[in-house]
Amino acid sequence: MYNFEYKNPTKILFGKGQIACISREVPGDARVMITFGGGSIRQNGVYDKVRAALGTRPVIDFGGIEPNPDHATLMRAVDEARTEKVDLLLAVGGGSVLDGTKFIAAAIRHPGDPWELVRKGGRGLQSAVPLGTVLTLPATGSESNPFAVISRRETGEKLAFSSPLLYPRFAVLDPETTFSLPTRQVANGVVDAFVHTFEQYMTYPVGAELQDRFAEAILSTLIEVGPVTLANPRDYESRANFMWTATLALNGLIGNGVPQDWATHTIGHELTALYGIDHARTLAVVLPHLLRVQSAGKAEKLLRYGARVWGISEGDNSGRVEEAVRRTETFFESLGIPTRLSTYEAAADTPARVARRLADRGTLPIGERQDIDADKITRILRASLS
């Protein structure tokens, strides 16, 4: 096990009716900006519950934060928050709204250009406006972590940044707020949480037994409750398990003291940038093929995963490894998430193009051993396109 530091100060308020607790968590005299997306929270009653919990506090609404939140949109919110002297940001939505609100929280008091801060990965942030979150789409873990991914369409950038100052003060996780989600978003969320877990788990063993078992616990739970919550959107228990599992998948806990491999995300982001494919769906078309190309270095963990999560006990090692990958693919497909890039209208030169984009940006090599280069990326995406 590697040395690590870990602190997650976000207060979780989990369960039915917990939106009302916001009244306790927000100072009585705070000026609050509520940030949200396309407005579904106005239809499903979540917005009204949030407003009721805020009582007579002054509230500024900022809606319209888009999927893959855009710098231009967010800077409008920053201007408004500065003008209105906002004390607290309350992000109500899924990962895009939460990530975007982290940018707003960082930018408001930042003396320089906030985009420079993002380009530096968040280094140098001195102060942030406090934020709280009301999660309506379990998937990214953003509700209780310090990470955000922001897009800038005018320059074609999509960058991740983080700062300990950006941990939300509180996160309301009420499974009932997610009952009205479209099936597609729930399926995406299950795959997103699954792949986050994989990227912290599927590398090589470093003797971190508990982290491995916790990761396997998350994967097993997603495999168990994913199909149930997809088929029965209003079943509280399966939705609650999905919601809590997605939070634990990326709150930092399982990544403590272990090597990580975020190559699937890195490659996937390019597919979103080029073709607008949903984030989770890009992960599903990259991961299985990456596992095959990297199977030599990941074999020990793939065998463990196969045995513990899928109960695979037959065949020789290479057969078991392939079976573990195949089961993963089948699981994604069972949720309606394709695992082939050929499903989408991607050009034949996509593999080489993605590899070149990443190489040109100086991102390569990637992977837990820094051995995924342009050639391997091309092979991974060709396998997915075939």
Q: Which residues bind its own copies (CB under 8 A)?
A: 1-18, 21, 207-210, 213-214, 216-218, 220-221, 224-225, 237, 240-241, 244-245, 248, 253, 256-257
For its own copies, give the closer residue by CB, 69 or 252: 252
For its own copies, give the closer residue by CB, 241 or 378: 241
Under the phi-then-psi rule, with left for phi > 0, alpha for psi from -120 to 50, and beta for the rest, what region is 303? Answer: alpha
Instruction: Confirm if 258 and 315 have CB atoms less than 8 A apart.
Output: no
Task: Report CA dihedral (16, 334, 323, 264) to the nearest 10 degrees.
Answer: -70
CB of 178 to its own copies, least distance (A): 14
H or E element that contains 109: none
For its own copies, give the closer residue by CB, 13 or 383: 13
CB of 36 to its own copies, least distance (A): 24
For its own copies, give the closer residue by CB, 12 or 75: 12
Question: Within a 10 A sphere around the Cβ of 371, how many other Cβ atoms?
Answer: 12
Length of the chain measured in residues: 386
CB of 6 to its own copies, least distance (A): 4
For its own copies, give the closer residue by CB, 101 or 229: 229
Under the phi-then-psi rule, with left for phi > 0, alpha for psi from -120 to 50, and beta for the rest, what region is 345? Answer: beta
Distance CA 9, CA 32 (A): 21
CB of 200 to its own copies, least distance (A): 15
Which residues neighbour 108 within 8 Å (Cβ) at sequence distance 6 or greater? 78, 81, 82, 86, 128, 129
CB of 222 to its own copies, least distance (A): 9
The sign of the CA dihedral 265, 269, 275, 277 is: positive
Distance CA 304, CA 353 (A): 34
CB of 208 to its own copies, least distance (A): 7
Question: Within a 10 A sphere around the Cβ of 190, how many other Cβ atoms?
Answer: 27
For its own copies, give the closer residue by CB, 83 or 313: 313
